[in-house]
């Protein structure tokens, strides 16, 4: 719940840049990271992003939470690639008759993918830390992303926490009455939980629609306004992309 930009300092240079420009720069850098063959560029991007995060005074707990999943996935990828793919064997050990071998080329492959994952996630994380959610949505609407899709994203962003809380309440109620005491009961309880959540979501949606209609909703969420671009934002972004482009090419 705290992986949001409202916890991050607002006086950082990145926070002041137009969300549309940040989105465009992030898209370009993401493409560079994902198409680069090697460690250097994604590693550099991850490092730059880390510097930005420190500059924005992102609390360590939030930073760790945001990166825990991608780091876990990256480690698993490295392990799988290292142990199960490749031809250049570094070592092999027998465990109860099962031969486990580590491969040099597998390790290189795995590390390449892992650094890409971390680099790409870093870019998205910095974008999220430096931009309020609604500004991001406003930016997406400027890029002609379908309105319905953006509205669904906004509602999902708002109501995911409400549903999460309700899911936790139902889960606790079930657990208190031994709903998860065996696998069979657990599966059955989980089915009931998802069913109840669906019904609650439906009920919420009906009430929310009424609440919106009584405040003038006619099918459009008029929340997005676009200010004119600032030359400074464009210049800084172009310079950043240029420098990164040169490193990417090298």
Q: Closer CB to other proteins, residue 54 or residue 162?
A: 162
Residue 186-225 contact track with other proteins, rule CB under 8 A, x = bound: ------------------x--xx-xxxxxxxxx---xx-x
Min. distance of Cβ 103 from other proteins in angstroms? Answer: 47
Nearest CB to other proteins, comparing residues 129 and 248: 129
CA terminus-to-terminus distance, the chain:
40
CB 223, min distance to other proteins, A? 6
**230 phi and psi angles, rounded to 5 deg:** -100, 140
Backbone region of residue 65 per phi and psi (left: phi > 0; alpha: psi in -120 to 50; beta: other values): alpha
Nearer residue to other proteins within complex by CB, 54 or 213: 213
Q: How far is CA 6 from the centre of its chain?
A: 16
Contact criterion met (CB below 8 Å) for 80 and 110: yes
* Subset of 119-178 contacting other proteins (CB under 8 A): 132-134, 154-155, 157-159, 161-162
The residue among 61 and 177 lying less far from other proteins, judged by its C-beta, is: 61
Residues 18-57 that bind other proteins (CB under 8 A): none
Tell me the closest approach of the beta carbon of residue 227 to other proteins, in angstroms: 11
Q: Looking at beta carbons only, is 9 or 181 nearer to other proteins?
A: 9
Contact predicate 220/151, CB 8 Å: no
* ∠ Cα 27 32 33 (to 5°): 95
Size of the residue set binding other proteins (CB under 8 A): 28
Question: Which is closer to other proteins, CB of 89 or CB of 156?
Answer: 156
- If you ran DSSP here, which 8-state letter would residue 86 be given? -
Contacts of 155 (CB under 8 A, 6+ apart): none
**Cα–Cα distance measured from residue 159 to residue 201, given in angstroms and rounded to the nearest whole number:** 9
Binding residues (CB under 8 A) for other proteins: these are 1, 4, 6, 132-134, 154-155, 157-159, 161-162, 204, 207-208, 210-218, 222-223, 225
């Amino acid at each position: 719940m705290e992986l949001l930009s409202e916890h991050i300092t607002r006086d950082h240079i990145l926070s002041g840049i137009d969300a549309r420009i940040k989105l465009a720069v992030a898209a370009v850098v993401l493409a560079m990271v994902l198409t680069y063959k090697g460690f250097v560029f994604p590693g550099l991007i991850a490092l730059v992003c880390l510097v930005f995060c420190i500059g924005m005074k992102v609390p360590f707990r939030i930073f760790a939470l945001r990166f825990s999943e991608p780091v876990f996935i990256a480690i698993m990828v490295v392990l799988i690639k290292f142990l199960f793919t490749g031809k250049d064997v570094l070592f092999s050990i027998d465990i109860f008759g099962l031969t486990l071998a580590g491969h040099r080329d597998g390790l290189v492959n795995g590390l390449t993918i892992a650094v890409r994952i971390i680099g790409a996630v870093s870019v998205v994380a910095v974008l999220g830390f430096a931009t309020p959610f609604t500004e991001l949505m406003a930016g997406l609407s400027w890029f002609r992303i379908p309105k319905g899709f953006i509205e669904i994203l906004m509602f999902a962003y708002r109501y995911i926490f409400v549903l999460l809380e309700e899911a936790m309440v139902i889960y606790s109620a079930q657990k208190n009455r031994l709903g998860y005491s065996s696998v069979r009961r657990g599966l059955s309880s989980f089915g009931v939980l998802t069913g109840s959540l669906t019904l609650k979501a439906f009920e919420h949606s009906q009430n929310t629609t009424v609440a919106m209609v009584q405040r003038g909703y006619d099918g459009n969420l008029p929340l997005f306004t676009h200010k004119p671009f600032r030359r400074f934002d464009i210049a800084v972004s172009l310079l950043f992309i240029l420098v990164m482009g040169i490193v990417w090419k090298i």
